[in-house]
Amino acid sequence: MLNPFSNDAFNMVALTAAINKIPNNYGRVEQLGLMPPEGVRTRTILIEEMSGVLNLLPTMPVGAPGTLGTQAKRKVRSFVIPHIPHDDVVLPEEVQGLRAFGSENDLETLSNLIARKLQNIRNKHAITLEHLRMGALKGVILDADGSTLYDLYSEFGITAKTVNFALGTNTTEVLLKILEVKRHIEDNLRGEFMTGIYCLCSQGFFDALTTHSKVKEAFQYFQRSQQLGNDYRAGFTFGGITFEEYRGQATDAAGTVRKFIADDEAHFFPLGTASTFRTYFAPADFNETANTLGLPLYAKQAPRKFERGTDVHTQSNPLPICLRPEVLVKGTKA
């Protein structure tokens, strides 16, 4: 009996190309274009930090020797890129009736079956990557079970910045809180540039902000300016910062629903930066991918024991990271 899985259409290169072409159904951070992908050839990356020193130069008498420049301080930090494998299987009953001896027309039907499998797998990897990227925006990258993969504040020796918006108090000057966030980010760009500041916030924070006595009038004006039917939660700009309600969540292996942003919290970050955010992808641990530039996803298939189906193996090796955690700010409602 002809085995259709031996066709070149189902080899590692073809399956990997196919899964990377499938549209991504999840990922607000992906849509914002915050963390561009970058393939690397190793499973460990080195981040070199060079802190330039800017000094005010004093005036000197003519002919006097000039002041001496100071060398920039360098630090190198290493990060192991997480490995995220996921497997599926194509069972004989799923291809029952698809294969006919010597037939080539059945490959199209089988390709559709594989495409459905890859789409489901792609969605799982996509929501996992969104979870990791959201962690990078918060400064603490978490694994699926809630354990910490990397605390970027600890890794870079930085104290996390939190602004209490005190939205439960009617007299709070919310605009001053926003200015505190903006000034902190602007002061810590340190040579980097940005085009604006964005905030992804929980439902509780968004509701408390838009109904606050100091914001309510501006929000009502914003609502009136929107076209009928638009969802105003998708971006309300106040004080020069755009606030968006973020509802990303997923279920872990134990069945626990994990919200990517905790209740009554908000997270601020700069947009349009040159090198503050990245997503590094390491190559798969296959013979044919050793020392190659990493891709977002890999897929491969192999027959099961006694030809009782076909295993489909996928993996992703991503590390979303913020290289300047000092520009991240957490906001609280209380």
- Residue 66: φ, ψ to 5°: -80, 160
Q: pLDDT above 70 covers what percent of the chain?
A: 86
- Give CA–CA dist 225/219, Å, rounded: 10
For 60, the token pair is 């000197």
Q: Provide the pLDDT confidence category of residue 101 given band limits of 50, 70 and 90.
A: very low
**Is residue 171 a part of any domain in this protein?**
yes
- Give CA–CA dist 320/268, Å, rounded: 17
**Is residue 72 a part of any domain in this protein?**
no
**What mean pLDDT is reported for the chain?**
87
Q: pLDDT above 90 covers what percent of the chain?
A: 58
Three-class DSSP category at 277: strand
- For residues 321 and 90, the model is more confident at 321
State how far the alpha carbon of 98 is from the alpha carbons of 37, 91, 139, 303, 305, in Å. 38, 12, 50, 17, 21
Record the pTM: 0.88
Question: 127-148 pLDDT, tens per residue?
Answer: 999 999 999 999 999 999 899 9
**Is residue 159 a part of any domain in this protein?**
yes
With the C-alpha atoms ordered 250, 253, 257, 262, is the resulting torsion angle positive or negative? negative
Domain hosting 192: range is 4-47+77-332
User: What is the total count of domains within the chain?
Assistant: 1
Question: 271-311 pLDDT, tens per residue?
Answer: 999 989 999 999 999 999 999 999 999 999 888 888 888 89
pLDDT at 116 over 90: no
The confidence score (pLDDT) of residue 209 equals 95
Q: Which of 41-55, 112-126, 200-214 ranks highest by mean pLDDT?
A: 200-214
Three-class DSSP category at 257: strand
**Is residue 129 a part of any domain in this protein?**
yes
**Is residue 85 a part of any domain in this protein?**
yes
Question: 20-58 pLDDT, tens per residue?
Answer: 888 877 789 989 999 999 999 999 998 887 665 555 556
Query: Residue 178: which CATH number?
Result: 3.90.1690.10
- 296 touches 109 (CB < 8 A): no
Q: List beta partners, residue 151.
A: 140
**Is residue 15 a part of any domain in this protein?**
yes
- For residues 69 and 101, the model is more confident at 69
Question: 153-168 pLDDT, tens per residue?
Answer: 999 999 999 999 999 9
Q: Provide the pLDDT confidence category of residue 103 given band limits of 50, 70 and 90.
A: low
**Is residue 211 a part of any domain in this protein?**
yes
**Is residue 62 a part of any domain in this protein?**
no
